[in-house]
Amino acid sequence: MNRFRISKLICAALAAALACPAQPLFACAMCYGAKTDSPLAAGMNWGIMSLLVVVVFVLSSVASFFIYLAKRASAAAKALPAKNETLESTQKA
């Protein structure tokens, strides 16, 4: 690269840095309300708990459905005759 290109790149980077001044960052609700009696902290805790309840309910529903299917398949397998047994209605006379 020649010197003109490098100086142009440095000027562009400097202009971009000056065009975007640093702004103060805002803390999240949990960091802002560091006290446990803060309404923001209480609201955030209730939000987390409600989302956790929904996730646990959905996962337990899916798990119980698969347990139901496994029990039903086991009961159906017990009701079928063994491989060596033949049904009387299928035997030819």
pLDDT digits (tens, 9 = 90+) for 1-15: 577 788 888 888 888
The structure's pTM equals: 0.49
pLDDT digits (tens, 9 = 90+) for 14-33: 887 777 776 666 666 556 65
Q: Give Cα separations from 70 to 1, 17, 45, 80 (angstroms).
A: 69, 62, 37, 16
Better-scored residue on pLDDT, 71 or 93: 71
pLDDT digits (tens, 9 = 90+) for 31-57: 665 566 777 777 888 999 999 999 999
Share the mean pLDDT of the chain: 79
Q: Would you say the C-alpha torsion 7, 11, 16, 21 has a positive or negative sign?
A: positive
> b/e for 1-34, b at 16 or more Cβ within 10 A?
eeeeeeeeeeeeeeeeeeeeeeeeeeeeeeeebe
